Structure 1
Amino acid sequence: MRACAALLLGASLLAFCPDARAEASCADLLPGRVAADAPRRLINADDLVRLRDIGRPEGSAFSAPTPLGASPDGQEVAFILRRADPGSNSYCLGLVVVSRDGAVRLLDQGGELATASLDGEGGRMPTGVPEVWAPSWSPDGRQIAFLRRDSGVTQLWIVPAAGGKARAITQGKVDIEAFAWSADGRSLLVAARPAILTDRARVDAEGLGGWLYDRRVAPNIGARPRPPVGLAVEVRLIDIATGAERTATQAEAEQLAESRKNEPFARGKDGQRASLSPESAAPLSPERIHVRDRAGRDIACPSPLCLGDVQGVWWDAQGHLYFLRREGWAKEDMVLYAWNVDDSTPRPVLRTRDVLLGCVQGGGALYCLRENATTPRYLARIALTDGRAESLFVPNPEFAHIRLGSVERLRWRNDRGLAAWGDLVLPPDARPGQKFPLVVVQYHSDGFLRGGTGDEYPIQLFAARGMAVLSLERPAFVATGQTGLRTMEDFNRAMQAGWAERWSLLSSLMTGIDAVKARGIVDPDRIGITGLSDGSSTVRFALINRPIFAAASISNCCFDANMVMMQAGIAFADKQRAYGLPPLTRPDPDLWRPYSVAMNAGKLNRPLLMQLSDDEYIHSLEGFTALREYGQPVEMHVFPGEHHIKWQPAHRRAAYLRNLDWFAYWLQGARDPDPAKQDQYARWDAMRSHEATPISGDRP
């Protein structure tokens, strides 16, 4: 199986095969037995790149849909298992069922990785984040329906739950986006947007006379106008036995729409409903649990434990409501509560610092994905009555024999009083009294410490190479709770005013570094910093305003005046002007000075590595060009066919290894003896010896 993934660029569906020379070997998609006496060893890059994954990889993916589907009797759970293969730059995927007793069976194997797009200003935007599709069991439990992508199109498939040949139910030209079984199990409801074909043809025709440059165009993605937001969803009903199709009724379409809801919602067997409602109309208002009882009355849970950060709600057979909530210091804990609607105070059933993701109910238990700082994700079953947890399926048993660095949770408040935390990771062989270089990784740190947000900065690889790592969890938004904010535009304007959010995050970063330095275990002259997206913004702001770092690496760049108003397109520019940034024709250097790489290029003399996607690198050109003109130590690499999050396994591996080499070179003076890296070190040696000079005789 070779995953030749389809990329949605503008409105064009382009087949993209990063490496057509090799086929992925998927024989080890399911884990094999690992000998109990297998020798322990240090981690390597392929251990991380080839992790078997269920759902989205980041532990803090709060809003991601569940990848799990529980059987009607609650005795089994199905999911799509994924493993990257960097050698072929593709993925192995398969439909897996795990039984209550831990038995595992692979029902289907094949297909391509699908990446998600989101509604952006002016049109749809590709993200690089994996799509998450939960398999669904027929009402009688005898068949499983699931989505699978082949040849660039996502179709609906079914397979006998006991095993047998899987077959496609749909053969259309557009993606199936959602599906649900009919009540009798004889038919399937499917949702798609066939209007995408009409839009694609319209844009093709427009191109014959030249595309209008308007809000649809994001120059970083390309000149072609993007697919519009809000194309109509069409729902059809397909008879499984005959293949006959018809347009769904309004009631059937509403049934499918309800099944697609990603927010916590539960319906009890006696008609009770539980959902969340915001406390106010303010942006990001916390949500409270509400129950609509059998008589139709709305009952708000009065306890503060029912307000904010609820991750899921479920009813048991006795009419008790269970809910999972994040709480504690900067939301580092997860607590499962039981609430009798007649009582005022919920009862805690389970409290853990582990991350629980994608929980679905199966009988009197929850099936959840569980992980922690040193344990990759696995499938667990948690009894609702007493919170007793057991492991059902460990996708990566090899990690039991990999020596990882030790992890300690540090906590602090920044100068705004906001709570934050960081995980301090020390090398596996750390001894008392040793001092290490320190690498900062951002910007979420819950769950397995893999590569930070975006998964490009391999925390445990840094530790295995003798570096300490501070993995940061960002504090709450500085504008949260601020009075007088009525809309998200108000909220974002408050965040951007005077770079308030950036200063808050910088304070959290520096306070965390100070907490590590106070322990006397790091060399203050050998601190590196990394980041993607919001983390990259923190890196750049820190390099300008707190230049304590010996080297830096970022995955996105930059936020400069010309970039904001030109390179990201009309829609993005209009949005930033609404947030308070000046237009291109009325520059405000004083406003931009704390944040602009281009304006500060003359003093940014710290080695900076940029590893960027090809649909974002254009944003870096203003800052990169200014750094180059000043002869600063900067290097840029552009990865083809990538988006905000890099999804291709070969690229992930390359980013890991280059980041490892970069920080080993600048913080430890070490180099990989591989002859293939000779040119890399020649460039870096030139940077170190100041052989890089301005491109003209006088500095600008």
Structure 2
Amino acid sequence: MSFPKRFAATLMAGAAGVLPHSALAADVCARLAPPAQKEIRSGLVTPELLAQLRDIGPATLPDRRRKLFTISPDGKWVAFFLHRGFPNENVYCAGLAILSLERPANVRILDFSRELIRDEPPRYGWATFPIGTAAPVTPRWEPAGRWIAYLKREHGLTQVWRVDVGTGAASQVTNSLVNVDDFRITEDGRTVVYSSRPKLPEKSAEIDREGLRGWRFDARAFPVRGARPQTPDADRFLTSVDLEEGREREARADEANLFDIARGLPGNTTAYSRAAGGSEAWAETIDTPLFPPLYRLTAKRNEKSEQCHFRACEFDWSTSVWWNDDGTRIRFTRREGWANSLTAIYEWIPGRGEPKRVLLTSNALIECQPIADDLLCLQERSQRPRHFVRLQLAAGQIKEIFDPNPEFSNLSLGRVERLNWLNAKNVPFYGDLVYPVGYEPGRRYPMVIVQYRTKGFLRGGIGDEVPIQTLAGRGYFILSVDNLTYEDIVGRKQSIEQLVAAFNDDFRGRRSILSAIEIATRRLIDKGLVDPQRIGISGLSDGCTTVQFAAVNSQLFSAGSVSGCGWEPFQDAILGPMIAQNYHESGWPRLADANPGFWSKISITLDPRRVRFPFLFQASDNEYLAMVGSHTALVQAGIPSDLYIFPDEDHIKWQPAHRLAVYRRNLDWFDFWLKGLVPSDPARKAEAERWSEMKASWKRPIPK
């Protein structure tokens, strides 16, 4: 059986090679590759530019085992996926790119799709739990480096494709009736082994049939996302495809083992590396009853294992491990510095004593892989989106390899200052203060708080909803705060449930975060930088929780914008039994228990008149019900509140048009409440006029 082939265009920008494709003239994918240097313009960062940044992988990695790039067998090329959103068309272009490591200016896009593969991992026993982020897609090189196999989504279905590196000829490898979840290539390069869940359609059909007599409200229910029960997960099935003949069969045991790279190691193993000569290195859990566990570096050479017992060889789950090219030295990362805000790289020679630190940086190293005696890394800096660099550790140098967003290099940006401080409980926190573009000493500016991670490129906070550098260009300070991990605040506990329960007990963790934000903000006020009457606060998910907590426990803020939360006494009813039980185990009370003492510390609906600032809710249609109660209570109490709902969205909004709309509305919201400005665009001006009506009738609470 043979599969149809298509010749994919190889797009070019500047020095990139190209195979022409006339149909691309008006297609968004013609704008995927970076522009030539002569096309780059200066100016301020606009929301339109941010919404069209080229990305390599998702903003945060959900699973470090799914690599964002791979290096060719000869070490001369790197393959990765580049994706870009286009708000006007509300589509993406995702392209498989290769980059010469000898001539890094040459980037070639070998194949592309207008459909983004989104991350939808199974959870709670359900088949999918959509998040809204791009899925990490790993391109895999054929052992001889002649072609690359990859996942590609077209017409709503994800399949394995492969492309000839020399000619750009792309062809579909699998014809699965369901999405392909993952795949591997055999060592001889003749077979692709893929993983799928072929019984999912039948499980979905069972729910359809059940609907004829009514769906039972049970552990499958997730009311906030609709009445239909969640589809239960199905078993994975491994299938092998003969690339020469196209025949499919069930995978053999040795082929199934390709998915288990750390076979034979302890079950608690995390970061893993195998050298060319067969030596192995990994991080395994230190025997302790506490959660989350700590890990220790272990090496295995010539069938002999050795643990590194030096302090530097103990680290948390975030570590990465690599052998150097000749298999004599191990490099690994660990979090260090104030509040673990820095990343260190160490080098250890097994049997030769203590490891040596070779790098310490505040930049975010998203992913690294060994190349010769160096590391090829995806890096982000506070003012630079994700880009490739080569860490030449022996020479102590960092060489830039490829920047997918060269437009950013000439823009006017607000300078960034790293802040370290203690909160009221002496917990160390850190954040980044972004100055207004053209900052004038002696003048006080409005400020917006953005949450809840601040390592890497300062784009829009977690969820990417508040355009930080655009605000800086409009004359704002922005304080980007890292809310730390639960264990950073309350310490490690016996289990994850106990850890979250300790964090939630009397809102201990939330008080700690709010205390940190207030102390940092008041210091900026005391320094004469920030106007105390013009401070906004924003957040999604955990950040949204902090905004809601601040609404009833702080007098510092003048406007708030949120998404992705809504903590109210009736939340069990819209979360469903499965997720509600998960929350109960983490310290949240049951609906039947009422517990007004608990809810009085965060609920808006119990007493909306306590809320001290206007609220903007920008919700996905899969989550808005969690926010309707809070919004309704605020409106009925005369507190300015606006709620917007975005269709076909998840926890994090993925559609380019929606992201741009969220950016713009957040800009308009803070401009209106903190500066008294109204946008000139007619549609956005109409929104601001409604806010003016809210403001005119609002009886602002008197500070206590």
TM over 0.5: yes
* Cα offsets for 1:559-585 (capped at 9, x unmatched): 11101x211111122222223333222
Unaligned runs of 5+ in 2: 1-24
Q: Contact 2:486–2:499 at 8 Å: present in 1 too?
A: no
Secondary structure of the structure 2 residue equivalent to 1:369: strand
Q: Contact 2:678–2:685 at 8 Å: present in 1 too?
A: no
How many Å apart are 1:333 and its aligned residue?
1.8
Flag the 1:478–1:413 CA change in 2: closer, same or farther, 3 A.
Answer: farther
In the alignment, what sits opposite 1:14? Answer: none
Distance 2:290 2:487 in 1: 15
How many Å apart are 1:241 and its aligned residue?
0.9
How many Å apart are 1:61 and its aligned residue?
6.6
How many Å apart are 1:344 and its aligned residue?
3.0
Count of paired positions: 667
Superposed, 1:617-696 pairs within 5 Å as: 617-690=624-697
Q: Contact 2:41–2:407 at 8 Å: present in 1 too?
A: no
Q: Contact 1:337–1:349 at 8 Å: present in 2 too?
A: yes
Q: Contact 2:555–2:612 at 8 Å: present in 1 too?
A: no
How many Å apart are 1:396 and its aligned residue?
0.8
Counterpart code for 1:647: W
In the alignment, what sits opposite 2:151? Answer: 147
How many Å apart are 1:610 and its aligned residue?
0.4
Secondary structure of the structure 1 residue equivalent to 2:169: coil
From 35, 39, 42, the counterpart of 1:40: 42
Flag the 1:310–1:614 CA change in 2: closer, same or farther, 3 A.
Answer: closer
Distance 1:496 1:431 in 2: 42
In the alignment, what sits opposite 1:50? Answer: 52
Which of 409-418 and 586-595 deviates more?
A: 409-418
In the alignment, what sits opposite 2:570? Answer: 562
1:402 aligns with 2:406: no
Distance 2:223 2:364 in 1: 38
Superposed, 1:384-423 pairs within 5 Å as: 384-423=393-432
From 310, 332, 336, the counterpart of 1:327: 336
Secondary structure of the structure 1 residue equivalent to 2:208: helix
From 118, 122, 130, the counterpart of 1:119: 122
How many Å apart are 1:441 and its aligned residue?
0.5
Distance 2:71 2:464 in 1: 29
Distance 2:231 2:396 in 1: 46
How many Å apart are 1:691 and its aligned residue?
6.2
Q: Contact 2:551–2:612 at 8 Å: present in 1 too?
A: no
In the alignment, what sits opposite 1:226? Answer: 230
In the alignment, what sits opposite 2:14? Answer: none
Distance 1:186 1:237 in 2: 10
Distance 1:480 1:678 in 2: 43
Flag the 1:388–1:499 CA change in 2: closer, same or farther, 3 A.
Answer: same
Distance 2:649 2:405 in 1: 27
From 334, 356, 369, the counterpart of 1:347: 356
Distance 1:478 1:351 in 2: 23
How many Å apart are 1:73 and its aligned residue?
1.7
How many Å apart are 1:119 and its aligned residue?
3.5
Distance 2:510 2:533 in 1: 24
Q: Contact 1:478–1:504 at 8 Å: present in 2 too?
A: no
How many Å apart are 1:24 and its aligned residue?
5.1
Q: Contact 2:270–2:284 at 8 Å: present in 1 too?
A: no
Q: Contact 1:270–1:294 at 8 Å: present in 2 too?
A: no
1:336 aligns with 2:336: no
In the alignment, what sits opposite 1:10? Answer: none
How many Å apart are 1:64 and its aligned residue?
7.7
Distance 1:367 1:518 in 2: 44
* Cα offsets for 1:498-555 (capped at 9, x unmatched): 1121111111211221232232111001100000000000001011101221110001
Secondary structure of the structure 2 residue equivalent to 1:46: helix
Superposed, 1:133-532 pairs within 5 Å as: 133-229=137-233, 231-258=234-261, 263-279=270-286, 280-308=288-316, 310-316=318-324, 317-478=326-487, 482=491, 485-532=493-540
Q: Contact 1:267–1:274 at 8 Å: present in 2 too?
A: yes
Which of 276-285 and 418-427 deviates more?
A: 276-285
Distance 2:363 2:389 in 1: 12
Secondary structure of the structure 2 residue equivalent to 1:82: strand
Secondary structure of the structure 1 residue equivalent to 2:223: coil
Flag the 1:487–1:309 CA change in 2: closer, same or farther, 3 A.
Answer: closer
In the alignment, what sits opposite 2:10? Answer: none
Distance 1:168 1:692 in 2: 63
1:552 aligns with 2:568: no
In the alignment, what sits opposite 1:611? Answer: 618
Distance 2:62 2:219 in 1: 29
How many Å apart are 1:301 and its aligned residue?
4.0
Counterpart code for 1:598: T
Secondary structure of the structure 1 residue equivalent to 2:443: coil
Counterpart code for 2:198: P
Distance 1:187 1:64 in 2: 22
Distance 2:458 2:200 in 1: 39
Counterpart code for 2:537: I
Counterpart code for 1:543: A
Distance 1:175 1:363 in 2: 36
Distance 1:44 1:425 in 2: 16
How many Å apart are 1:363 and its aligned residue?
3.0
How many Å apart are 1:299 and its aligned residue?
2.1
* TM-score of the superposed pair, with normalisation by structure 2: 0.91
From 118, 130, 133, the counterpart of 1:129: 133
Distance 1:330 1:499 in 2: 21
In the alignment, what sits opposite 1:6? Answer: none
Q: Contact 1:303–1:346 at 8 Å: present in 2 too?
A: no
Distance 2:373 2:152 in 1: 30
1:583 aligns with 2:585: no
Q: Contact 2:544–2:565 at 8 Å: present in 1 too?
A: yes
Flag the 1:185–1:312 CA change in 2: closer, same or farther, 3 A.
Answer: same
Flag the 1:50–1:232 CA change in 2: closer, same or farther, 3 A.
Answer: same
Unaligned runs of 5+ in 1: 1-21, 694-700
Which of 576-585 and 252-261 deviates more?
A: 252-261
Flag the 1:205–1:220 CA change in 2: closer, same or farther, 3 A.
Answer: same
How many Å apart are 1:477 and its aligned residue?
1.6
Flag the 1:478–1:284 CA change in 2: closer, same or farther, 3 A.
Answer: closer
Distance 1:536 1:121 in 2: 23
How many Å apart are 1:480 and its aligned residue?
6.2
How many Å apart are 1:74 and its aligned residue?
1.6
Counterpart code for 1:69: T
1:99 aligns with 2:100: yes
In the alignment, what sits opposite 1:600? Answer: 607
* Cα offsets for 1:120-166 (capped at 9, x unmatched): 33523211011011101011111101111111111000011223211
Flag the 1:486–1:478 CA change in 2: closer, same or farther, 3 A.
Answer: closer
Secondary structure of the structure 1 residue equivalent to 2:38: coil
Distance 2:107 2:614 in 1: 49
Which of 361-370 and 541-550 deviates more?
A: 361-370
Distance 2:693 2:388 in 1: 49
Task: Quote the RMSD (CA, aligned, Å).
Answer: 2.2
Counterpart code for 2:349: N
* Cα offsets for 1:5-24 (capped at 9, x unmatched): xxxxxxxxxxxxxxxxx985
Counterpart code for 1:251: D
